[in-house]
Chain A
Amino acid sequence: MVKITFITSDNETITLEGKSGSVMALAVDNGIKGIDGDCGGVCSCATCHVHVAPEDMSKTGSASQIEADMLELDDNVNEFSRLCCQLEISDSLDGIVLKVAN
């Protein structure tokens, strides 16, 4: 199991465990506030915006061009921004901390 921690905008910290699928789906299935996943993960809605903890950026990598173009026009964007529907759960993500952007 891969452990992923979310910190919501009202500062609640929730750690979830997942095996596969996208980080967005894990968050939506567990009702993480601020992650709606409206478009189901095809990169068209930006309702899955998170800020990756700086020390975890090496695990997640940075956004693809299409994802970056999407983020560029979103509120609260910064250098640690990712759309978490584009993060596939795998062992390499174990232990990461994500701050929900909205």
Chain B
Amino acid sequence: MNRIVYLLVKNGYLSGTNYLQFCETIGEILFTRTLNQKYHMKKSELPDPFEKARLDKGYGNLNDQNDPVTMLLRHKDVRKSAHNYKTFQSGAQPGRIVVPSEVNIRDARQIPFEVDPPLHGEYRAIIEPWFKRPLLPEYQEKLTAQISTLVDGILNKDSLEVVNEFALPLQSRALTLLLNTPFSEAETWISWGTHVFRSEGEALDGDKANILYNYIDEQIDRALKNPGDDMYSLLLSSEFQGKKLTREEVKGVMVLTFAGGRDTVINAVTNSISYLAEHPEALERFRQEPEIIGKAVEEFIRYFSPLTQMGRVVTEDTEVCEHAIKADSRISLCWASANRDTTVFENPNEIVLDRKINPHVGFGFSHHNCLGATHARQILKILLKTLAEKVGSIEIKDCKENIEHLDEFERKVGFNSIHVKFKSLT
């Protein structure tokens, strides 16, 4: 470096203020490089883009299809607002609490997701026991068998693309257990690819969503003709306030089950694999201390926060972080930011596998907390256990990051693709 400066000065390219400016530029380049090295050392790291805004003002701004969103970034505000359904409602115009907004691509209300208490609780009571079935030993045995078979099939393959060839089949097959439908249905769901609602390059694709809607319609017809012990049949025979659930209500619940449990699980599984690839000692630790796996799963959910945020519509003029928020505007509960809040988590940017106190909001908080969490937790627990038993190390070949663009913020949520090799434990 000194030599370059010396040559430039000697040949008259640099003098006086020019020289100072030059040094500043070089300094900046070097500094940025160090930062990049520091932050991009590991492919599995998900940096926290919200830190500065969270500390400075507590919220961020996001313009989404001319319906702007004030993103709440602090743990305390996120939890309080999630709890306060009267001021921050879910039961608004269908699609509006989702970011990016889906008001232009659907009219159907998703249940229980877009319903507020007390009705919300009545709907949840109908389906909650069904979503707790993953706690049953038979369910876990079947899930273990599925995951075991999948892992056996990919061991020592030279190169495997995790998102499409591992996480998607794993998620789809596991969903057959949750819906209690034939295993073969998973093939159809896998053929839809990772984005059921989106084709290449287009953010929201109504036509593509129709594939899912039509499929669910067919399944409802089937269940009406031949009731069985699957989730469609259960819903069709359930009563809400003394009346059978309508076809539209059943459809709403089913679409939500497909939509809410797809990208989130795929994302969590893929990020877990990339973490284990760069932390083989974690696999060893799970072998030695399998009892920490439950805590590790919670920590992964906190750190990865597979769902970045979810919106609410504001019902009355109010204030958050000394910032006025108008009635009928939108806020979002930014789970991903709350999960890195230093006022709650020590070393929030580190994965501490056995973090003992971990009040994360990765599965949401309060009334609308994730209905699929029991299923998702079992998937991840069994996955970690199975990998620890069978896999010695994982090598990352190459990967493409999946970055969410949120105006002020760029958040890495995981990968669009990641090629790895799983080496068996010998």
| Chain A residues engaging chain B, CB cutoff 8 angstroms | 36, 38-45, 64, 66, 69-70, 73
CA distance A34 to B132 in the complex (A): 13
**Most B Cβ at <10 Å: residue of A39, A64, A66, A69:** A39
CA distance A60 to B76 in the complex (A): 26
CA distance A36 to B393 in the complex (A): 35
Contact call B359/A40, Cβ cutoff below 8 A: no
Contact call B83/A73, Cβ cutoff below 8 A: yes
Closest A residue, CB atoms, query B80: A73
- List residues of chain A with CB within 8 A of the CB of B365: 73
- List residues of chain B with CB within 8 A of the CB of A38: 373-374, 377
Contact call A40/B298, Cβ cutoff below 8 A: yes
Contact call B79/A73, Cβ cutoff below 8 A: yes
CA distance A28 to B256 in the complex (A): 29
Given A66-B344, A73-B366, A42 contacting B358 (CB threshold 8 A): yes
Which residue in B80, B132, B344, B357 is a CB contact (below 8 Å) of A42? B357
Q: Say whether chain A's binding surface is mostly helix, strand, loop, or mixed.
A: loop
Contact call B358/A43, Cβ cutoff below 8 A: yes
Nearest 6 CB-CB pairs, A to B?
Answer: A40-B294, A42-B358, A73-B83, A44-B359, A43-B359, A42-B298
The number of residues on chain B lying at the interface, defined by a beta carbon within 8 Å of a beta carbon of chain A, is 24
- List residues of chain A with CB within 8 A of the CB of B360: 42, 44
- B106 interface contact, C-beta 8 A: no
Contact call B298/A66, Cβ cutoff below 8 A: no
| Chain B residues engaging chain A, CB cutoff 8 angstroms | 76, 79-80, 83, 132, 294-295, 297-298, 344, 355-361, 363, 365-366, 369, 373-374, 377
Distance in Å: Cβ of B92 to nearest Cβ of chain A: 22
- List residues of chain B with CB within 8 A of the CB of A64: 357
Closest A residue, CB atoms, query B297: A40
Distance in Å: Cβ of A15 to nearest Cβ of chain B: 24
CA distance A66 to B357 in the complex (A): 8
Closest A residue, CB atoms, query B381: A40
Distance in Å: Cβ of B124 to nearest Cβ of chain A: 13
Contact call B298/A44, Cβ cutoff below 8 A: yes
Closest A residue, CB atoms, query B79: A73
- List residues of chain A with CB within 8 A of the CB of B79: 69, 73
Distance in Å: Cβ of B129 to nearest Cβ of chain A: 11
CA distance A43 to B298 in the complex (A): 10
Closest B residue, CB atoms, query A86: B357
Selected A-B contacts with CB under 8 Å, 25 pairs: A38-B374, A38-B377, A39-B298, A40-B294, A40-B295, A40-B297, A40-B298, A42-B295, A42-B298, A42-B355, A42-B356, A42-B358, A43-B357, A43-B358, A44-B298, A44-B359, A64-B357, A66-B357, A66-B359, A69-B76, A69-B79, A69-B359, A73-B79, A73-B80, A73-B365
CA distance A60 to B113 in the complex (A): 37
Distance in Å: Cβ of A68 to nearest Cβ of chain B: 11
Given A66-B344, A73-B366, A44 contacting B358 (CB threshold 8 A): yes
CA distance A22 to B152 in the complex (A): 36
- List residues of chain A with CB within 8 A of the CB of B297: 40
Distance in Å: Cβ of B72 to nearest Cβ of chain A: 15
CA distance A43 to B361 in the complex (A): 11
CA distance A102 to B28 in the complex (A): 57
Distance in Å: Cβ of B132 to nearest Cβ of chain A: 8
CA distance A70 to B359 in the complex (A): 8
Closest A residue, CB atoms, query B356: A42
Closest A residue, CB atoms, query B357: A43
- List residues of chain B with CB within 8 A of the CB of A45: 369
Distance in Å: Cβ of B291 to nearest Cβ of chain A: 10
CA distance A69 to B80 in the complex (A): 10
Distance in Å: Cβ of B105 to nearest Cβ of chain A: 33
CA distance A72 to B355 in the complex (A): 22
CA distance A40 to B79 in the complex (A): 20
14 additional A-B residue pairs with CB within 8 Å, beyond A42-B295, A42-B360, A66-B357? A38-B374, A38-B377, A40-B294, A41-B294, A42-B356, A42-B357, A43-B358, A44-B298, A44-B359, A44-B360, A66-B359, A69-B76, A73-B79, A73-B365
Distance in Å: Cβ of B357 to nearest Cβ of chain A: 5
- List residues of chain A with CB within 8 A of the CB of B356: 42
CA distance A99 to B137 in the complex (A): 27
CA distance A101 to B237 in the complex (A): 31
CA distance A69 to B338 in the complex (A): 14
- List residues of chain A with CB within 8 A of the CB of B359: 42-44, 66, 69-70
